[in-house]
């Protein structure tokens, strides 16, 4: 049976009293590399936020609004002590407090805007929202040691989707689409993907899907990065958490390695997918891809990143088309098939984590 989706415009939400998103979670707000000398404005979970660094490089996130005449602070400039509004020059620190009003000696205490909790780790900026007025994080932001692993080189990017986050979760938890959507990069024979040896497990807050596709032809992204001898054994290990999904895919020469050995060689692509709602119906997709180069690390990385980007652009077209058609055929039932086991589990987790405080 299909797990329920709560998407405005697609199904009836009139009796739904929960928040649109799980709030007691760390969400990826940006790649570290996106916040440099310039402020970064981004709407996250319906909150317009501006991120910036002070002179010591520490990262802050405050409401993207000047409390004087409401210009977005993201159109201002970053200084050593904070961010200066681009209209009449009020300067705000990282707690959202105004610390200077040009031409006025007194700065009223109420000259302030809201601030958000952020942590920077492993090349990501994480943000915690919290529920029921409690904005203190319950746990530390997740670590992602792959970005510091000397076997790997990595790069990343940020995509914007005109589609709700749940459809991106569905897409990433069901890789049977790879053979149909991604022929030019990571595809291969569609039937190999549809008939993959697949196991789905999980608990209250996570889902794991493991897929093996033995004795298959290596797809273009694989052959351009690694000297395979012929057919390969492929794997995909998907680890879903409510705000991000890690997907380790790769291949070895057929029969040359145990696919359950964590130190297996071959060609690796380790994807990190931060899926952060912008609104109920639009999403940020903040991703990285790491690979283990056999030679020419920068050349291999450039090729893997370019092909990953191409692959994700293919997904974006499908998911945005899918969403538009769901709106046209709203309230029409959808069925589940065998490939949906992981995605349905994830949907149930997300529904359970939505809180009752709106
Ligand atoms: S609107 Fe920001 S200082 Fe006036
Ligand atoms: Fe895809």
Structure tokens at 189: 């024979």
In the chain, domain spans: 31-128, 153-353
Tell me the best of 74, 90, 91, 92 to mutate to test the pocket of ligand 1, counting ligand atoms within 8 Å of each CB and taking the most.
90
69 lines ligand 1 (CB under 6 A): yes
Ligand 1 atom showing the smallest separation from residue 101 Cα? 3
Class of domain 31-128: mainly beta
- The whole-number pLDDT of residue 187 equals 84
Q: Which residue has its alpha carbon closest to ligand 1 atom 1?
A: 69
Ion ligand 2 neighbours (CB, 5 A) are 315
> Strand 82-84 relative to strand 77-79: parallel, antiparallel, unpaired?
antiparallel
67 lines ligand 1 (CB under 6 A): no
Q: How far is CA 264 from CA 31, 80, 156, 227, in A?
A: 29, 47, 24, 16
Q: Note down pLDDT in tens along the chain; length 358 residues.
A: 456 677 777 776 666 667 789 999 999 999 999 999 899 999 999 999 999 999 999 999 999 999 999 999 999 999 999 999 999 999 999 999 999 999 999 999 999 999 999 999 999 999 999 887 788 898 999 999 999 999 999 999 999 999 999 999 999 999 889 889 998 888 877 788 788 888 999 999 999 999 999 999 999 999 999 999 999 999 999 999 999 999 999 999 999 999 999 999 999 999 999 999 999 999 999 999 999 999 999 999 999 999 999 999 999 999 999 999 999 998 888 999 988 999 999 999 998 898 765 4
Q: How far is CA 7 from CA 14, 137, 166, 320, in A?
A: 11, 27, 9, 14
Distance, CA of 332 to CA of 338 (rounded, Å): 20
Distance, CA of 297 to CA of 301 (rounded, Å): 6
Say how many Å lie between the first and final Cα of the chain, rounded. 29
Count of alpha carbons within 13 angstroms of residue 133, beta-carbon side: 0
- The whole-number pLDDT of residue 4 equals 67
Give the homologous superfamily in CATH for domain 153-353. Naphthalene 1,2-dioxygenase Alpha Subunit; Chain A, domain 1 (3.90.380.10)
Distance, CA of 291 to CA of 154 (rounded, Å): 6
């Amino acid at each position: 049976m299909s797990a329920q989706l709560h998407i405005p415009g697609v199904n009836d939400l009139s009796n739904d009293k929960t928040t649109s998103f799980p709030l007691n979670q760390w969400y990826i707000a940006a790649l570290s590399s996106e916040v440099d000398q310039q402020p970064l404005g981004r709407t996250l979970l319906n909150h317009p936020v501006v991120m910036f660094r002070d002179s010591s490089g520490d990262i802050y996130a405050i409401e993207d609004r000047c409390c004087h005449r409401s210009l977005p602070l993201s159109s201002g400039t970053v200084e050593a002590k904070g961010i200066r509004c681009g209209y009449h020059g009020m300067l705000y620190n990282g707690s959202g407090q105004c610390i200077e009003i040009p031409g006025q000696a007194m700065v009223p205490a109420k000259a302030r805007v809201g601030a958000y909790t952020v942590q920077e780790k492993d090349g990501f900026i994480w943000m915690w929202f919290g529920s029921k007025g409690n904005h203190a994080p319950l746990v530390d932001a997740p670590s992602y040691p792959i970005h510091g692993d000397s076997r790997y080189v990595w790069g990343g990017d940020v995509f914007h989707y005109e589609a709700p986050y749940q459809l991106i979760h569905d897409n990433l938890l069901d890789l049977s689409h790879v053979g149909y959507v991604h022929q030019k990069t990571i595809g291969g024979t569609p039937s190999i993907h549809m008939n993959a040896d697949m196991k789905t497990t999980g608990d209250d807050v996570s889902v794991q899907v493991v897929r093996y596709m033995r004795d298959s032809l290596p797809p273009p992204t694989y052959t351009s990065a690694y000297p395979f001898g012929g057919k390969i054994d492929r794997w995909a290990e998907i680890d879903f958490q409510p705000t991000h999904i890690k997907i380790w895919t790769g291949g070895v020469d057929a029969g040359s390695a145990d696919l359950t050995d964590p130190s297996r060689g071959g060609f690796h692509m380790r994807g990190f997918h931060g899926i952060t709602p912008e609104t109920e119906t639009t999403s940020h997709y903040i991703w990285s891809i790491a690979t283990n180069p056999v030679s020419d690390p920068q050349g291999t990385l450039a090729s893997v990143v370019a092909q990953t980007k191409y692959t994700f652009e293919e997904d974006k077209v499908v998911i945005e088309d899918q969403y538009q058609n769901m709106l046209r055929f709203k309230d029409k039932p959808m069925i589940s098939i065998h490939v949906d086991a992981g995605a349905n589990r994830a949907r149930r987790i997300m529904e359970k984590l939505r809180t009752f405080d709106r």
